[in-house]
């Protein structure tokens, strides 16, 4: 087999991406992208690249997003031309708003076959518009080369300086790659030298004093940085459950109610924001107040500026000074009173061992009631939270359950993910799969759990399909199934629209049998209705893919 310019350019580009630290490529099959796909699978056989094949481009995009979320390194997603490219847009938008690095490799027709009605050809340059950190319409191999593309793309995805870019802010980069036939041929001899993982740019920290009455707000993707600053400044930490920051001595429980109080919420003078807070109107209202000095640590592609006077910073450092222990103490005292304890009472050992029949009967009945206690939303989120540890990963879907979890769960240092850049339900299972693949690479221990509602599950059901020749990630998908979108119960529409219209246009009730879906896609299925049964399933994973259905009341 002879070589072709398309094959030579594709092999060179994939090798260069590997040399610049890219370790994962998610591939959706197609004709126009064949030279790139064959180069990727070649380097995968050599152990220089991990290739993940997904037939649905939307699933592929969110899988790459999940890999990059966990690893901090841009994963590449490769697809053919036409509508395949458009299917990447939801993941691209989430990548932009969440500040997650991502590389989009889209095959295309050469310029002479664009805008002339050629098969499977559309307008691909610029298709991702304002959401791409950088966009390059590469030359056709033979008319030019692709030798500099990898370096430029990886640097831009990690927040490097690019035209119209955002220094220090990671995000998606689009490489549109046109080729002429022949599209495949013999691969050239190329030595691959895997490079070190790229590092994000670190900007100069903004130095701040302890002075004003300050709170630290941790939204999605805030991570440990928020807790560190709260600890350094002796400030209360308001950490959403999706932040990965809900741990440490400064965490505030019941923060929504406390933000509404005259004694605490109304007295806040400064808020330092990490990540993207999205789960409560109370936090949004605080950050919109013109009398509050808001400092936002920039992460996503869109600056947080709800009060139109928010200061942006790459990071912050706390200056020396005496902490305001009265301010922190007031918050922690109120927090202790607002914390929720969902743990079961300890068994009545004296009653169980009593020789008195009535006492022993009551003690046994109490134990049986505890074992048979049906699950509700609070018990479900509590069980998943308690089963998850630092070597595990937890992904929340944008369902009603994440708000319940935010309201009742206590502090715990576990890695948490959620697609809250745009707070959509797109790609939840695919993103969690990518997180599992990245966190379990090289034989690392742990289970990735994704907790979501039934509509978010059905929206991404195609992500259950995994190739039989790829290693199964340890993944538990826990579906709180209440038969429709009851998240709308908390919105204005629930109090104004006719019930029939609510059902049809919002709740969208369904009768899908999740067990049959699990069987079709090759997942182990469990249906649990009690806390005891759920605890057992969560803590004894089978080492593969499990779909756990928890029926919930409407």
Q: How many angstroms separate the CA atoms of 395 and 283, rounded?
A: 22
Q: What is the pLDDT of residues 444-497, one digit of tens each?
A: 999 999 999 999 999 999 999 999 999 999 999 999 999 876 666 666 666 677
* pLDDT (average), residues 437-443: 93
Do residues 397 and 460 share a domain?
A: yes
Q: How many angstroms separate the CA atoms of 177 and 105, rounded?
A: 7
Enumerate residues 6+ apart whose C-beta is below 8 A from 370.
344, 345, 531, 532
Do residues 66 and 170 share a domain?
A: yes
Q: Residue 164's pLDDT is what?
A: 46
Q: Residue 203's pLDDT is what?
A: 74
Q: Residue 515's pLDDT is what?
A: 97
* pLDDT (average), residues 56-62: 98
Do residues 540 and 434 share a domain?
A: yes
320, 338, 356: which is the final residue of a domain? Answer: 338
**What is the 8-class DSSP label of residue 504?**
I
Q: Residue 395's pLDDT is what?
A: 98
Q: Residue 180's pLDDT is what?
A: 93
Using CB atoms within 10 Å of the CB of residue 554, give its burial: 0 to 12 exposed, 13 to 18 middle, 19+ buried.
exposed
Q: Residue 484's pLDDT is what?
A: 72
Q: Residue 545 maps to which CATH number?
A: 3.40.50.970
* pLDDT (average), residues 495-518: 81
Q: Residue 365's pLDDT is what?
A: 60
Query: To 10 degrees, the CA torsion angle through 413, 415, 419, 423?
Result: -10
pTM of the model: 0.93
Q: Is residue 390 domain-resident? A: yes
285, 319, 338: which is the final residue of a domain? Answer: 338
Q: What is the 3-state secondary structure (H, E, C) of 200-232?
A: CCCCCCEEECCCCCEEEEECECCCHHHHHHHHH
Do residues 470 and 510 share a domain?
A: yes
Do residues 22 and 170 share a domain?
A: yes
Do residues 33 and 169 share a domain?
A: yes
Q: Report the percent of the chain where pLDDT is more than 90.
A: 76
Q: What is the pLDDT of residues 232-281, one digit of tens each?
A: 999 999 999 999 999 999 999 999 999 999 999 999 999 999 999 999 99
Do residues 439 and 498 share a domain?
A: yes
Query: Which residue has better confidence, 142 or 497?
Result: 142
Q: Is residue 189 domain-resident? A: no
Q: Is residue 329 domain-resident? A: yes
Q: Report the percent of the chain where pLDDT is more than 70.
A: 92
Q: Residue 543's pLDDT is what?
A: 76
Q: Is residue 354 domain-resident? A: no
With 80 as the cut, is the pLDDT of residue 41 above it?
Answer: yes
Of residues 242, 229, 225, the one with CA closest to residue 393 = 242
Of residues 416, 89, 439, 450, the one with CA closest to residue 279 = 416
Do residues 159 and 245 share a domain?
A: no
Of residues 199, 60, 100, 170, the one with CA closest to residue 421 = 100
pLDDT level of residue 342 (50, 70, 90 thresholds): confident
Residues 105, 124 contacting (CB under 8 angstroms): no
Q: Is residue 201 domain-resident? A: no
Largest CA distance in the chain: 93
Compute φ and ψ for 83, nearest 5 degrees.
-65, -20
Q: What is the pLDDT of residues 343-395, one digit of tens each?
A: 666 566 776 677 776 766 665 666 565 666 789 999 999 999 999 999 999 99
Q: Is residue 196 domain-resident? A: no
Do residues 290 and 431 share a domain?
A: no
142, 158, 178: which is the final residue of a domain? Answer: 178
Q: Is residue 348 domain-resident? A: no
**Domain span including residue 317:** 206-338
Q: Residue 493's pLDDT is what?
A: 62
pLDDT level of residue 116 (50, 70, 90 thresholds): confident
Enumerate residues 6+ apart whose C-beta is below 8 A from 479.
452, 453, 454, 457, 514, 547, 548, 549, 550
| Cis peptide bond upstream of 530, omega within 30 | no
Compute φ and ψ for 153, nearest 5 degrees.
-65, -45
Q: What is the 3-state secondary structure (H, E, C) of 13-60?
A: HHHHHHHCCCCEEEECCCCCCHHHHHHHHHHHHCCCCEEEECCCHHHH
User: Total structural domains in the chain?
Assistant: 3
Query: How much is the mean pLDDT over the chain?
Result: 91
Q: Is residue 56 domain-resident? A: yes
* pLDDT (average), residues 335-350: 76
Do residues 104 and 52 share a domain?
A: yes
Do residues 151 and 242 share a domain?
A: no
Do residues 126 and 69 share a domain?
A: yes
With 60 as the cut, is the pLDDT of residue 540 above it?
Answer: yes
Q: How many angstroms separate the CA atoms of 298 and 302, rounded?
A: 8
Q: What is the pLDDT of residues 3-25, one digit of tens each?
A: 799 999 999 999 999 999 999 99
Residues 524, 543 contacting (CB under 8 angstroms): no
Query: Which residue has better confidence, 341 or 197?
Result: 197
Query: Which residue has better confidence, 340 or 512?
Result: 512
Of residues 199, 174, 154, 171, the one with CA closest to residue 301 = 171
């Amino acid at each position: 087999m002879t070589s072709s310019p398309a094959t030579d350019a594709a092999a060179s580009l994939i090798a260069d991406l590997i040399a610049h630290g890219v370790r994962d490529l998610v591939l959706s099959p197609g004709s126009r992208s064949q030279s790139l796909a064959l180069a990727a699978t070649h380097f995968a056989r050599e152990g220089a690249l991990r290739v993940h094949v997904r037939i649905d481009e939307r699933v592929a995009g969110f899988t790459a997003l999940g890999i990059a979320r966990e690893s901090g390194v841009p994963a590449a997603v490769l697809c053919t031309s036409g509508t395949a490219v458009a299917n990447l847009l939801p993941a691209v938008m989430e990548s932009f708003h969440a500040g997650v690095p991502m590389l989009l490799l889209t095959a295309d027709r050469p310029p002479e076959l664009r805008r002339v009605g050629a098969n499977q050809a559309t307008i691909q340059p610029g298709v991702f518009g304002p959401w791409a950190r950088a966009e390059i319409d590469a030359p056709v191999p033979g008319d030019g080369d692709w030798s500099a593309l990898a370096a430029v793309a990886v640097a831009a995805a990690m927040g490097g300086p690019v035209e119209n870019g955002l220094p220090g802010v990671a995000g998606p980069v689009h490489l549109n790659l046109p080729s002429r036939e022949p599209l495949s041929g013999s691969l050239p001899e190329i030595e691959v030298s895997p490079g070190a993982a790229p590092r994000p740019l670190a900007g100069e920290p903004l130095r701040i004093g302890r002075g004003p009455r300050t709170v630290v707000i941790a939204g999605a993707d805030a991570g440990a940085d928020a807790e560190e600053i709260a600890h350094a400044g002796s400030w209360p930490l308001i950490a959403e459950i999706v932040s990965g920051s809900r741990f440490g001595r400064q965490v505030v429980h019941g923060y929504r109610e406390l933000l509404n109080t005259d004694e605490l919420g109304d007295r806040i003078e400064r808020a330092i924001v990490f990540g993207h807070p999205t789960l409560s109107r109370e936090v949004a209202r605080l950050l919109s107040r013109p009398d509050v000095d808001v400092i936002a640590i920039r992460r996503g592609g869109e600056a947080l500026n709800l009060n139109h006077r928010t200061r942006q910073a790459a990071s912050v450092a706390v200056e020396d000074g005496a902490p305001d222990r009265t301010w922190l103490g007031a918050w922690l005292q109120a927090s202790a009173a607002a914390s929720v304890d969902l743990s079961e009472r300890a068994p009545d050992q004296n009653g169980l061992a009593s020789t008195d029949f009535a006492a022993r009967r009551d003690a046994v009945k109490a134990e049986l009631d505890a074992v048979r206690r049906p699950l509700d939303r609070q018990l479900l989120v509590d069980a998943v939270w308690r089963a998850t540890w630092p070597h595990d990963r937890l992904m929340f879907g944008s369902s009603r359950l994440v708000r319940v979890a935010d309201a009742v769960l206590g502090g715990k240092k576990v890695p948490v993910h959620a697609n809250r850049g745009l707070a959509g339900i797109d790609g939840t299972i695919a993103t969690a799969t990518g997180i599992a693949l990245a966190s379990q690479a090289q034989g690392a221990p742990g289970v990735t759990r994704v907790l979501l509602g039934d509509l978010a599950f059905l929206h991404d059901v195609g992500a259950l399909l995994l190739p039989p020749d790829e290693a199964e990630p340890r993944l538990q998908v826990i579906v709180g199934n209440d038969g429709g979108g009851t998240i709308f119960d908390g919105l204005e529409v629930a109090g104004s629209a006719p019930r029939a219209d609510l059902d049809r246009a919002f709740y969208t009730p369904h009768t899908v049998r999740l067990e049959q879906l699990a069987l079709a896609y090759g997942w182990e299925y469990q249906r649990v209705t009690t806390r005891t049964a759920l605890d057992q399933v969560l803590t004894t994973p089978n080492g593969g893919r499990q779909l756990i259905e928890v029926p919930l009341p409407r």
